[in-house]
Amino acid sequence: MMKIPKSHPRYESLTIREKLAEGFRKGFVHETGLIAHGRGEAFDYLIGEKTIDISNDAEKVATALLLVAENPVISINGNTAALVGKDCVELSKKIPAKLEVNLFHRSEDRIRKIVMELKKFGADPVLGENPDARIEGLDHPRGLCSREGIYSADVVLVPLEDGDRCEALIKMGKKVIAIDLNPLSRTSQSATITIVDNVVRAIPNMIKWTDILKDRPKEYLEALVNSWDNEKYLRDVLSYISKRINSI
Ligand code: PTJ
pLDDT in tens, 218-245: 999 999 999 999 999 999 999 999 999 9
Ligand 1 contact via 40 beta carbon (within 6 Å): yes
**HSE toward the beta carbon, residue 98, CA cutoff 13 A:** 24
* 171 CB-near residues (< 8 Å, 6+ apart): 136, 137
Task: Kindly give the distance from the C-alpha atom of residue 124 to the centroid of ligand 1, in angstroms, as a whole number.
Answer: 25
Q: Is the CB of 19 under 6 A from ligand 1?
A: no
pLDDT bin (cut points 50, 70, 90) of residue 101 is very high
Of the chain, the percentage scoring pLDDT greater than 90 comes to 90
Using one digit for the tens of pLDDT, what is the confidence trace for 23-38?
999 999 999 999 999 9
Residue 121 Cα, ligand 1 centroid: separation in angstroms? 22
Ligand 1 lined by 142 (C-beta under 6 Å)? no
Alpha-carbon distances of 142 from 96, 193, 218, 239, rounded to whole Å: 26, 23, 35, 35
How far is residue 162's CA from residue 241's CA, in Å, rounded to a whole number? Answer: 23
Closest atom of ligand 1 to 102 CA is 4
pTM: 0.96
160 touches 177 (CB < 8 A)? no
- The answer to whether residue 9 scores a pLDDT higher than 80 is no
Q: What backbone phi and psi angles, to 5 degrees, belong to 38? A: -60, -40
CATH H superfamily, domain 53-247 = Phosphopantoate/pantothenate synthetase (3.40.50.12640)
Give yes or no for residue 117 CB within 6 A of ligand 1: no
Alpha helices in 49-162 (DSSP H): 53-68, 78-94, 108-120
> Using CA positions, which residue lies closest to atom 16 of ligand 1?
162
**pLDDT of residue 1 exceeding 70:** no
Beta bridge partners of 157: 74, 177
Mutation to probe ligand 1, out of 34, 79, 206 (largest number of atoms < 8 A from CB)? 79
Whether the Cβ atoms of residue 55 and residue 122 lie closer than 8 Å to each other: no
